[in-house]
């Protein structure tokens, strides 16, 4: 990496460098050499889940992630993104999408899928979701394979569709849900369904909304164990300090214990006595010599 020559450049490089407490992940949307109109619609639907946290590389790019990893890393570094999706369409792999994740601007893992049975809001009678900004989707993974061979895919989906949140989430924020179901058969695929949560007075209901699609697994690049451990590094926890707390404003408050004071045994400070007044005797009259 080129060294910074200005104070501003140094700050930018420090912000992009790996940290223990990372910033919110940005996602880069990349188009391949050829993209069909249907895949463009799929691009737009996925972009809604990353609203405000995406960078669109809209021009067509003449490279493929599994053949030119360096080009993907270059684009992610340029736009300061740690997540990326690559869209392409050809005869061999139609409706192709790649979900990937980087660490320190180096591609750590990639998963390729074929998009099938895609239904958007204008087709199939599925309504358009009404979701307020700041809403958080509930992710539901159905199938035992999410715990084994699809565990890394689940981790990438959680990063892509939800991200990392600190603190508590109120029930009002959960306004929609994404259900990922592994369907086993002659061809194993992931059925993805989107539901909107309708809050009622006594119970909540789920209404299916757009988009709806299936993902057929194709190629994959699993993360290296050493790189994965470094990416999952956690900060060292400080030792708990007794009698020290923080209030709602973040101010440090301390509790001090003092021993019981024995007032009866306190020796009062002695005061110096007042000096005695010095009285001068009146002079005795001298006897007159006769």
**152 sits in which H/E element:** helix 151-161
Query: Is 183 contained in some domain?
Result: yes
Q: How many domains does the chain have?
A: 1
Give the mean pLDDT of 256-282: 74
Tell me, yes or no, whether 98 lies in a domain: yes
Q: Is residue 238 part of a domain?
A: no
144 in a domain, yes or no? yes
Lowest mean pLDDT among 75-79, 121-125, 259-263: 121-125
pLDDT at 96 over 60: yes
Distance CA 74, CA 76 (A): 6
Give pLDDT, residue 202. Answer: 77
Q: Which pLDDT belongs to residue 274?
A: 66
Domain CATH for 207: 3.40.50.10480
Domain that holds residue 53: 23-221
- Of residues 48 and 97, the one with the higher pLDDT is 97
In a domain, 209, yes or no: yes
Continuous H helices in the chain: 7-16, 37-49, 69-79, 151-161, 225-231
Residue 158 belongs to a domain: yes
The pLDDT of residue 288 is: 60
Residue 46 in domain: yes
Question: Is 226's pLDDT higher than 90?
Answer: no
231 domain residue, yes or no: no
Rg of the chain (C-alpha set): 36
pLDDT tens for 43-91 read: 999 998 888 888 988 789 999 999 999 999 999 988 989 999 999 999 9
Q: What is the pLDDT of residue 275?
A: 67
């Amino acid at each position: 990496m080129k060294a910074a020559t200005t104070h501003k450049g140094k700050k930018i490089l420090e912000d992009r460098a790996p940290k223990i407490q990372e910033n919110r992940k940005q996602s880069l949307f990349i188009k391949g050499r050829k993209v069909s109109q249907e895949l463009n619609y799929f691009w737009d639907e996925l972009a809604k889940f990353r609203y405000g946290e995406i960078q669109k590389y809209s021009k067509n790019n003449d490279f493929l992630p599994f053949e030119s990893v360096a080009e993907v890393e270059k684009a992610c570094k340029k736009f300061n993104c740690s997540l990326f999706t690559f869209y392409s369409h050809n005869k061999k792999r139609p409706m192709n999408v790649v979900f990937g994740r980087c660490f320190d601007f180096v591609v750590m893992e990639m998963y390729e899928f074929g998009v099938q049975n895609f239904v958007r809001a204008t087709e199939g009678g599925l309504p358009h979701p009404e979701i307020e900004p700041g809403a958080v989707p509930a992710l539901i993974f159905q199938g035992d394979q999410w715990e084994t061979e699809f565990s890394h895919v689940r981790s990438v989906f959680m990063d892509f569709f939800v991200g990392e949140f600190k603190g508590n989430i109120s029930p009002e924020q959960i306004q929609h849900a994404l259900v990922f179901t592994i369907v086993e058969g002659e061809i194993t695929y992931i059925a993805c369904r989107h539901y909107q949560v309708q809050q009622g007075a006594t119970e909540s209901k789920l209404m299916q909304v757009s988009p709806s699609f299936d993902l057929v697994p194709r190629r994959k690049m699993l993360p290296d164990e050493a790189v994965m451990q470094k990416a999952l590094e956690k900060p060292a926890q400080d030792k708990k300090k007794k009698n020290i707390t923080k209030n709602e404003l973040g101010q440090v408050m301390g509790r001090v214990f003092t021993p019981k004071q024995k007032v009866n045994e306190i020796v009062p400070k002695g005061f110096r006595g007042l000096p005695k007044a010095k009285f001068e005797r009146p002079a005795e009259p001298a006897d007159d010599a006769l």
